[in-house]
Chains A and B, each alone.
Chain A
Amino acid sequence: MSLLRAEGLCVTAHIGGVKVAALDGLSLALAPGKVLGLVGESGAGKSMLGRAMAQLLPPGFAVSAGTLEFAGQDLVAMAPDKRRALLGRQIGFIPQEPLSALNPVRSIGSQFAEHLRRLGVADWRAAALAALDTVQLPDLLDRFAHQLSGGMCQRVLIAMAFASKPALVVADEPTTALDVTIQARIVALMRDLQIAQNTAVLFITHDLRLAAQVCDEIAVLYAGRVVEHGPADVVLAQPLHPYTKCLLLAAPAMSGPRQALYALPDQMPGLRALAEMTGCRFAPRCPLARDACRKEVPALAGGAHKAACPHIAEIGKIAVSELAPAAVATTGETLVSVRGLGKTFRGRFGRKPTVAVHDVSFSIAAGEFVGVVGESGSGKSTLARLLMGLEHKTTGDIHLAGQDVGRWEAAARRLRLRTAQMVFQDPQSALNPRRRVGAIVTQALEAVGIGLAERRVRAAEILADLGMPQELADRAPSQLSGGQRQRVNIGRALCLVPKLLVADEIVSGLDVSVQAQLLGLLARLRTEHGFALLLISHDLAVVRYLCERVMVMRNGRVVEAGRTDAVFANPQHEYTRELLASVPGPAILR
């Protein structure tokens, strides 16, 4: 007897007069006390199931076919007040953004009280304290959300979700907004509570490895269809569907030989594109696809481990080669030399000053890729901004190409223009929505007054470098996909062929397959242009893939630095060890 059962569930969206199945024939079953992972990249429709349960589908979306049952009751046809009675009692939700899920103007206690009174608890205070205790939080009932960290807020929400001892908890990307070390703790906590209360959990995530760590079973979703479904460890160890396999090969690993990343072309089709698609929705990107795939929809077949692909016998053909060491002639010339760098932000309105960066010293040789890892608030972004002259240093020296910068503002600016460029994290914010792609990538030429004709030529070169079609030069950033936008973002920095690129979290927030494309692009551009890179990232695997050296930062200090393989294989500092242990995935895959 399964607790949650979906049979042929279809969620249809109306887009410009066309009906598109955002969820197409979803069939799942979740047994009591089990954890089911719903894994997919953005646009796969993985949040639709949770939304369909609560009848919170976006405008224009509706359940059009199939059934969705909770403990034998039809959730779709159920009367609204009956459904409301279930939600929050029998079915708990853990949201993605803990900070925005809590009301900022009400104390944690009053929000707890509201929830517990609804459950009919007489002594809410004692019950709330007990619930907080299960998530290892002290009495913070009188505090407000903004006084807590993101991880604490998420723990409060987990405590609330589990407070009613629900039969089912839906967790929609519960750790995406959190740091890796906190993610590890939250996930462990959820797992403990789930086992203790024998709760079933629907765990929605984009991270296949995290899902494998948390879940008993995994369903991989692609463009609204389940393409693979099976026991978590089996799916991860022996994926049957080409998409799952490609996804696994696209994510850089934390152990074993450094392998090239499998770069899936393009991206998941949007709802509009799906309207015109027949056959297997993965076929346009699939390395095993043949004509028949584009005509017939493959059925999900198999026993305990099912896959929706007729060519599972050929799955072994999808493989990646071992990564050759970067063929870059490093002259050994020092490009960046930083000594005793410090930055203290003045405390305003009587607050204490904040030390963002403290006594940091390092150097980067020409052509060298250096990674900086650490949690949010560790000072890694401030370090990048100091290098680029976007913040004024408090102490220390920065030498760029042998010259001291930061003393004479105008001279330093000229020097930086020729040697260093920065790639920003969020292409949405980093690309002017009112400009064309061609104009954005040649901004540096515009700055020195170079004519339109010459800029067009250079724009074409840069787009070719980025592996983007020429006609995109006349598009606006809003017409590009997320991956293309981030390429344009990189292209702008490359326009004057700088010796150093400073990249701040440039792949965070991107899907794994898009991330693989970008990392491959950076590796290729490196061999072509031979620039050095300071890569700031919270993702250790990305740093391991790209960088020869790594610096681990915590609270504004560099706690450990050295060759990447050495640091990751044999971490000396306690914090580095903690970071490494937090990387998601079953131990075998780390």
Chain B
Amino acid sequence: MPRWLRDTRVIIGLSVLVVVLALALLAPLLVQATPDEQDLLATLLPSAWAKGGEAAHPLGTDSLGRDVLARLLYGTRLALTVAAIAAPGAMILGTIAALLGGYFGGWVDWVIGRAVDVWMSFPPVILSLILMVGLGTGSRNVILAIVLVDWTRFCRVLRAEVLVVVQRDYVTAARLVGFSHARVILREILPAIVPLLVTLLTLEMGIAVVVEAILAFVGLGVKPDEIAWGQMIADGRATIYQAPINLLAPVAAIFVTVAGFNLLGDGLRRSLDLRLVEGRG
């Protein structure tokens, strides 16, 4: 078994995420109700175990009489989709920029470095809100906004790592035996930053879930007919005193999912980073 699979954090994080993924995929089997079916005669029902609750709606209904559990489970799909596409997207963009800047140095590095500086001087949430205003709502645009905002996270951290690797003699040696620049980058440098890359990717997935929720919360995320945790929070906020579970359920879902990603990322960092591993003997 590889070392990273023996780390407790990795095991807990992975288990949480596997459960979340299973819930998303098996949603139609787990609940009978469809998430967008309104029942205006049964709005704001409490959860099944509370007084007045119905077994058909385990977590009750929202202000339009939609089943909260169904919305929660179907909302998982969107959250995971965004995490699974936006985070790798940001990673690819950021990694390419970091490799080019760190490897070639000089003006290439200067241009990329200044671009990152300018980018990072905007608060990320504000920047993504501005982008969403320009791009319009929809899950595809949410993904695009996250990629365009968060590539800098990857770029800055990875560039520092690339700079360290480039200093090593084996990179020079590879050039001297005739490797082209592209081959040096792909065969000698990229493998060295993969551990960091994987860690950052996992953490970024957690961030993507949060950003997607924020955008949906302010109504600039997905279209109204798509189900998102952020929308559920926005809806639940109005009726927090009548039906607190409408707000708490999506908050808990976001918390658990992001915690899963963060635990996984933290565990991977501890077990893949050679410096940390060697420090512990």
Residues of A within 8 A of B (CB): 59, 388, 390, 413, 416-417, 421-422, 424-426, 429-432, 434, 443-444, 446-448, 492-493, 495-496
Contact = CB atoms under 8 A, between A and B. Distances in A.
B41 interface: no
Contacts of B180: 447
Interface in B169-214: 169-170, 172-174, 176-180, 183, 187-188, 191-192
Given A432-B170, A447-B174, A447-B180, 7 more contacts: A421-B177, A425-B169, A430-B168, A432-B174, A434-B192, A443-B174, A447-B179
A443 B177 contact: yes
Nearest to A60: B281
A443 B169 contact: no
24 contacts: A59-B281, A388-B176, A390-B172, A390-B176, A416-B176, A417-B178, A421-B176, A421-B177, A422-B176, A425-B169, A426-B169, A430-B168, A431-B170, A432-B168, A432-B192, A434-B192, A443-B174, A444-B178, A446-B179, A446-B183, A447-B174, A447-B179, A448-B178, A496-B177
A447 B281 contact: no
B52 to A, nearest CB: 62
A447 B169 contact: no
A426 B170 CA distance: 10
Contacts of A417: 176-178
Nearest to A442: B177
A430 B167 CA distance: 10
Contacts, number: 55
A430 B178 contact: no
B165 to A, nearest CB: 9
Given A432-B188, A434-B191, A434-B192, A424 B169 contact: yes
Contacts of A429: 168-170
B170 A430 contact: yes
Contacts of A495: 177
Contacts of B178: 413, 417, 444, 447-448
In this complex, the member of B172, B176, B192 whose beta carbon has the largest number of chain A beta carbons within 10 angstroms is B176
B46 to A, nearest CB: 57
Contact of A422 (B168, B173, B179, B192): B173
Interface in B107-160: none
Nearest to A502: B176
Interface residues of B, number: 17
A424 B176 CA distance: 11
Nearest to B183: A447
Interface residue SS majority, chain B? helix
A61 to B, nearest CB: 13
Nearest to B188: A432
Interface of B: 168-170, 172-174, 176-180, 183, 187-188, 191-192, 281
A376 B100 CA distance: 33
Contact of B172 (A424, A431, A496): A424
Contacts of B188: 432
Contacts of B191: 432, 434
A410 to B, nearest CB: 11
Nearest to B194: A434
A421 B175 CA distance: 11
A424 B173 contact: yes
A446 to B, nearest CB: 8
Contacts of B187: 446
Q: Considering the complex of A and B, which 9 residue pairs feature the smallest CB-CB distances, nearest first?
A: A447-B178, A430-B169, A444-B177, A424-B169, A429-B169, A432-B170, A443-B177, A429-B168, A417-B178
A566 to B, nearest CB: 33
A206 B168 CA distance: 27
Contacts of B172: 390, 424
Contacts of A425: 169
A492 B169 contact: no
A429 B170 CA distance: 6
B101 to A, nearest CB: 19
A496 B187 CA distance: 20
Nearest to B174: A443
A393 B183 CA distance: 26
A388 B183 CA distance: 20
Nearest to B274: A433
B170 to A, nearest CB: 4
Contacts of A434: 191-192
A443 B176 CA distance: 10
B210 to A, nearest CB: 34
Nearest to A449: B183
B192 A443 contact: no
A492 B192 contact: no
